[in-house]
């Protein structure tokens, strides 16, 4: 089993390497891949130093699996070249997510959409992943009608440059800016670029990807995405209206029994999910579960997850594990 990691020197790529090792993914050959600028560097994996190579060099090796986390333009240029060479590509960028021919997968939610012959699989947006993980068991029980989500997103979702901006600002150091505004002691109500409809790309990802994953275009979704001065871990305030009425205790039980979801919901004791507790964890944490008293059949909840792990690297690797179990690789 030869596994290539495209973007191995980046923030998500580094976490992919860590998760592959932690989960003892059954590979015999790791192929770390990056831009020509980073080629020749060494990364550490399973006690060994491995030289980083270019995409062109990796393609010639014909890996069995390629995990892409090198940006949308790179994925658009290279993903199909790898699949044509017989490599299964799992792409973490937004490049292929809404392509009707490409499955968009969270294994615990809709892994069954992957069929034999699918050589390119898309990993959803980090904010989408944690939200659908929490909503999936409730959708099965009550039927989703409308979702209102506000996100509180870590600077790690932007990349290492944003992390350095925050660190520099906290230390009073001038440096490169990932954002057009200060992020320390601030909240920026913009994640990604604005679209003609007044929403950002990040907000529309939550709308479109949620509908695709659940296979239901009738679900009404509206989103506001905000960048906050947190290093690691996205949080979401979600209000969901169901087609059927619900019992909050039953909601907690459904979430508690869902693989990959952890309920922390004892607000009177100060127990609820926070991004600090999600760091380096693969679970999705849910709390502040309560009936919305302003609308019928509506529920409020708070959802937190490590955006670099379950929101990116871990979900990508879980897709590969799912495909191996099903004999699709």
Q: Where are the alpha helices (DSSP H) in 160-313?
A: 160-171, 201-214, 248-256, 275-278
Does 139 qualify as catalytic in the annotation?
no
Catalytic residue among 126, 139, 187, 191: 126
Contact 277, 304 (CB under 8 A): yes
Q: Which of 88, 45, 102, 92 has its CA nearest to residue 68?
A: 92
Contact 150, 234 (CB under 8 A): no
Contact 8, 68 (CB under 8 A): no
Catalytic residue among 139, 181, 187, 234: 234
Token digits for 2?
A: 């030869």
Strand (E) or helix (H) holding 298: strand 298-305
What do you get for the CA distance between the two ends of the chain, in Å?
Answer: 10
Does 187 qualify as catalytic in the annotation?
no
Q: Which of 20, 57, 64, 11 has its CA nearest to residue 36?
A: 57
> What is the Cα–Cα distance from 280 to 232, expressed in whole angstroms?
9
Residues 6+ apart with CB under 8 A from 59: 78, 81, 82, 85
Query: What are the angstrom distances between the C-alpha of 323 and each of 87, 90, 142, 258, 320?
Result: 13, 11, 29, 21, 5
Token digits for 250?
A: 């039953």
Handedness of CA 224, 275, 291, 131 (dihedral sign): positive
Q: Provide the annotated active-site residues.
A: 126, 234
């Amino acid at each position: 089993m030869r596994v290539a990691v495209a973007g191995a020197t980046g923030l998500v790529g580094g976490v992919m390497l860590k998760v592959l090792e932690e989960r003892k993914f059954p590979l015999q050959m790791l192929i770390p891949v990056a831009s020509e600028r980073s080629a020749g560097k060494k990364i550490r994996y399973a006690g060994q130093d491995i030289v980083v190579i270019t995409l062109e060099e990796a393609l010639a090796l014909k890996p069995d699996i390629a995990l892409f986390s090198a940006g949308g333009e790179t994925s658009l240029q290279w993903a199909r070249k790898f699949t044509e060479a017989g490599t299964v590509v799992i792409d973490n960028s937004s490049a292929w997510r809404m392509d009707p021919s490409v499955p968009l997968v969270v294994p615990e939610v809709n892994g069954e959409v992957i069929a034999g012959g699918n050589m390119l699989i898309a990993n959803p947006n980090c904010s989408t992943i944690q939200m659908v993980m929490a909503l999936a068991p409730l959708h099965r029980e009550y039927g989703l009608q409308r979702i209102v989500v506000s996100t509180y997103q870590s600077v790690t979702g932007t990349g290492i440059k944003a992390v350095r901006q925050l660190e520099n600002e906290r230390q009073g150091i001038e440096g490169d800016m990932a954002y057009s505004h200060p992020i320390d002691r601030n909240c920026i109500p913009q994640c990604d670029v604005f679209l003609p409809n007044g929403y950002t790309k990040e907000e529309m990802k939550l709308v479109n990807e949620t509908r695709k994953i659940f296979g239901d275009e009738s679900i009404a979704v509206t989103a506001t995405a905000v960048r906050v001065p947190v290093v690691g871990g996205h949080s979401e305030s979600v209000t969901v209206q169901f087609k059927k009425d619900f019992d909050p205790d039953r909601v907690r039980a459904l979430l508690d029994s869902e693989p990959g979801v952890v309920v922390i919901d004892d607000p009177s004791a100060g127990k609820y999910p926070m991004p600090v507790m999600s760091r380096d964890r693969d679970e999705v944490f849910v709390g502040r579960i309560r009936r919305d008293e302003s609308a019928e059949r509506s529920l409020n909840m708070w959802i937190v997850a490590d955006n670099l792990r379950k929101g990116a690297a871990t979900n990508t690797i879980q897709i590969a594990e799912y495909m191996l179990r099903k004999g699709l690789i």
